[in-house]
Amino acid sequence: MPLISCTNVVNVEGESTITSTDIISFNISLTYDNLPADQCPGYIHSENYPFIRRSNWYIVIVDAQTKTNVIQIERLKHTDGSNVVKFEMKQRFGRAGKFAFHCYISNDCYMGFDKEMAIEVEVVKDDPDRVMIEYSKEDVDAVKGPGLVQAMMAGEEDDEDDDDDSSDDNPELLFKKLEDAGLKTPEAAKYAEAKAKAEKKAGG
C-alpha cells in the first residue's frame, strides 16, 4: 500500500532569509514508509484493471485562504532505485510578506491515501547583509511567466470582478467571456441587434 510521509522545504540556496527578489525553491518530498531506501514502487493491477501499470502521485497547490485559486498542478514521477518521490518548483514573488499555501497530494490508483500539507513562506523586502549573486540561466528560465503571488492576485481580482459584474445580470459580460474563450453564440448577435433597435427607437 502507498503509505507515505510528506515534507516540504522552501528556501533560497545558501541563504538564511528570503527576499522579494530571490528565486525561491519549493521542494516537496514523498517517502514510501514501507519500502527500503533503495527501492522504488513496483507495478500494480487489480481484477477490474487486468494489466500492470505504475501508480502516480499528483499534487495541487492552492492559496491557503480560499483554497480555490490553483497555483500549480503536477504529476510526480518515481525515480528508479529510490523510495522518495521529489518535486521542485522555482518562483520569484516580487513582494514582501507572509504567504500561505495548501498542497493536496493524491494517488491516481489508490483511494483513501490522500495527503494534505500546509506551505508557509515569509519574504522580507531586502537583506542588508546579503551578497548579491547572479542567477543561472536555468533558474531565470524557471521563473518566467506569472509566479505564485501573481497568480494569487489574479485570482483575487477575478473574484472581485465576478462580485461587481455578475454574468447573470449582465448579458454583454457573459457574451464577451464566451467570445474570449473562443465560443460564439447566435444569442450574442440577436442581443446586439435588439439592443441597437432599442437605442435607435429611443434616439428617434
**C-alpha to C-alpha distance for 166 and 95, rounded to whole angstroms:** 31
Q: Quick one: residue 67, left, alpha or beta (phi over 0 = left, psi -120 to 50 = alpha)? A: left
Contacts of 180 (CB under 8 A, 6+ apart): none
In this prediction the pTM is 0.65
* Domain span holding position 20: 4-137
With respect to residue 154, please indicate whether it lies within any of the assigned structural domains: no
**130/34 same-domain check:** yes
Mind listing the pLDDT tens digit for each residue in 168-203?
A: 456 677 666 666 655 566 666 777 777 777 777 776
Calculate the alpha carbon distances from 13 to 16, 20, 78, 100, 140 in Å. 8, 15, 24, 20, 14
Residue 71 has pLDDT above 50, yes or no: yes
From the CB of residue 135, how many other CB atoms can be counted at a distance below 10 Å?
Answer: 15
Question: Angle of helix 171-180 relative to helix 186-203, nearest 10 degrees?
Answer: 140
Total domains, the chain: 2
**179/116 same-domain check:** no
Residue 187 is predicted with a pLDDT of 66
With respect to residue 61, please indicate whether it lies within any of the assigned structural domains: yes
**112/175 same-domain check:** no
With respect to residue 22, please indicate whether it lies within any of the assigned structural domains: yes
Q: What is the CATH number of the domain that holds 117?
A: 2.60.40.150
Mind listing the pLDDT tens digit for each residue in 40-65?
A: 988 887 887 778 888 889 999 998 98
- The number of helix segments (H) and strand segments (E) in the chain equals 4, 9
With respect to residue 148, please indicate whether it lies within any of the assigned structural domains: no
**81/177 same-domain check:** no
Mind listing the pLDDT tens digit for each residue in 105-122?
A: 999 888 899 999 999 999
Residue 168 is predicted with a pLDDT of 47
Query: What is the number of residues in the chain?
Result: 204
